[in-house]
A and B are shown apart, each in its own frame.
Chain A
Amino acid sequence: MTPTTPLPDLSVPELVEVRDLTVWYGGRQVSSMPRLEVRPGECVAVVGESGSGKSTLLRAMLGLLSGTPAVTTGSVTVDGRDVLFADERELRDIRGSRVALVMQSPQGSLNPTMRLGTLIRRVLKRHGVRGAEARERIAGALASVRLPEEILRRYPSEVSGGQAQRFAIAVAVALEVAVIAADEPTSALDVTVQAEVIGVLQRLREERGLAVVLVSHDLALVSTVADRIVVMKDGEVVDEGDVEHVLHESESPYTRELIDAVPVIRPADPEPERPVEEEAAR
């Protein structure tokens, strides 16, 4: 089996670098990550059940933990800039220009009182992109997620979940961020729409060299896109490695458990068992 993308070029500096990150909440350790690097064009998936600390990791990456009761130690840098201890002004600068978040609830992450066009134009303006350049970037971003421009005139209540999620990705694309952090981007969508959204992320990696950090509980789904998988349980990393390794050679009992939990569709006539990722892509 060949990897879905060429191996990352190790000479390129990491976009995201996590070192010895530990997050405590009310004296309890909720998430810990000894090390993680994400390079341009790479997709790293963090898999685990709810409460495993995977979303906390993502929030730490966006500097969303500062100003909350969470206590963090270690370091997280995005594009060489520290995000754990940066002040709000610096964080505002990094967010949306280097890294963008795609959230779980598709329509919920769009302000219901704002047309999609207004939303994307304002975000671009906030990052100093306006006029003809803004129009060009918006058109390009919509094309890359396969949304018609007509969608800009709509309110969030007037688009489907898959469209909303692709629009959220389009915002990140228009901002020309280097990293998309996606928190369960497909779990609120039905299966065919999930494949669409994953397909969009996949294409953006190939065409634009975007790095993706994908947090999900769905091992089958992430194994179709990820280069590397980190498995978390109870706030700790229990397994990590490239997709091959995690799917086929893992010795972690928890990972085996996750793999066995993936439902496999059995065709009527017996066929040699197919790899999990192809199943999930249907």
Chain B
Amino acid sequence: MSVHPPLDPAHDVEQPAYRGRWTRRVVAVVGADRLAAVGAVVLLLIVAAAVLAPWLAPYPDDARSATHSLEALQGPSAEHWFGTDRVGRDVLSRVLFGARTSLTIAAAVLAIAAVVGVFLGVVAGYAGGWLRDVIMRVTDVFLAFPALLLSTALALILGPSVTTAIIAIAATWWPWYTRLSASMASTIRGRAYVDAARCLGVSRGRIVARHVLPNSLTPVLVQLSLDAGGVILTAASLSYLGLGAQDPTAEWGLMVQQGQSLFSTAWWVAAFPGLAILVTAFCFNVLGEGLRDALDPRRGNR
């Protein structure tokens, strides 16, 4: 006979203070953070512009190999809102197509860096011991390598192109994700639910994939957003140095470089792509900071 009161399932559906996933929380907090919300909206517009570039651009051919020598270096006007460059190409069209190049580079670099970096980091952080040491030392070697030097070397070997720029930037970017997720994973490794999973006979691989990884991702998400601006800037500087995208590819950094010497006479050639870099990087940063605040456990009731 039990001396304890019977449990009634009906009285037991108490409502906790906070319901829902972190996604809802992000929407709620980013929504309340004006600057982050503006950043998110502007970024959506930039992505839309990149996707719709062939339809939005007044002179889509100018983003490729077309040249119009007779219309060179015209200032902003009704036909050419952002003016034309040295060979008469419409700057607006090239800025729109440039969004594709820059966003593709950012997405590719961050995807490679995050997948490689997070995988190694989570393994290192969960496994600990010699495996962690090996992975972290390799990571340190890559971190010690100057990004620009590596990019120059790669450009010499592979020839300068967008792909080279992606490889070069990703090669120097992943170690940050390894460090970040290794420290997250080694914290999560000590959480009760990881022990609980072990005690239920869950294998190591599953524990990493289903318990450690999903719970390590929050700071990675924040870092991705904060880094996107940096990657776009780095890609632009590589192109600016002639190590990345090559003419006639429309790429913001390259366009700034092409317009630099003309700045005193035709400011619009460099100014508009430069502004595009600035706005995009800025929006990624404010969004990233908004996300960081939203997901910070010290804020709110989680």
Contacts and interface: CB of A to CB of B under 8 A. Distances in A.
Given A110-B193, A111-B211, A160-B16, A95 B198 contact: yes
A215 B48 CA distance: 59
A96 B13 CA distance: 28
A113 B197 CA distance: 14
A183 B37 CA distance: 46
Given A113-B214, A146-B12, A150-B13, A64 B195 contact: yes
Interface residues of B, number: 36
A148 B13 contact: yes
A62 B201 CA distance: 10
Contacts of A155: 20-21
Given A108-B192, A111-B193, A199 B4 contact: yes
A163 to B, nearest CB: 7
Interface residues of A, number: 51
A69 to B, nearest CB: 11
Contacts of A163: 12, 14
A60 B199 CA distance: 11
A105 B192 contact: yes
A114 B210 contact: yes
B68 interface: no
A205 to B, nearest CB: 10
B18 interface: yes
Nearest to B9: A148
A4 B8 CA distance: 23
B218 to A, nearest CB: 10
A103 B2 contact: no
Contacts of A199: 2, 4-5, 7
B72 to A, nearest CB: 57
Interface stretch (A122-130, A240-248, A254-262): A122-130
Interface in B208-222: 210-211, 214-215
Contacts of B4: 195-196, 198-199, 202, 281
Interface in B183-235: 191-193, 195-204, 206, 210-211, 214-215
Interface in A137-155: 146-148, 150, 155
A100 B192 contact: no
A73 interface: no
A278 interface: yes
Contacts of B215: 111-113
Nearest to A145: B7
A159 B199 contact: no
B2 A203 contact: yes
Given A126-B202, A127-B201, A110 B196 contact: yes
Nearest to B213: A113
Nearest to A154: B19
Interface string A85-111: 000100111111100110111001111
Interface string B2-36: 11111111001110101111000000000000000
Nearest to A194: B4
A97 B199 CA distance: 10
Nearest to B196: A109
Interface of A: 4, 62, 64, 88, 91-97, 100-101, 103-105, 108-114, 122-123, 126-127, 146-148, 150, 155, 157-160, 163, 168, 171, 175, 195-196, 198-200, 202-203, 206, 224, 278, 281
10 contacts: A94-B201, A101-B199, A103-B192, A114-B210, A123-B200, A126-B206, A150-B13, A158-B19, A196-B4, A199-B4
Closest 4 CB pairs of A and B: A199-B4, A96-B201, A146-B7, A96-B200
Interface of B: 1-9, 12-14, 16, 18-21, 191-193, 195-204, 206, 210-211, 214-215, 302
Given A96-B200, A163-B12, 12 more contacts: A92-B203, A95-B200, A97-B201, A103-B192, A108-B191, A111-B197, A122-B210, A126-B201, A155-B20, A159-B16, A199-B4, A199-B7
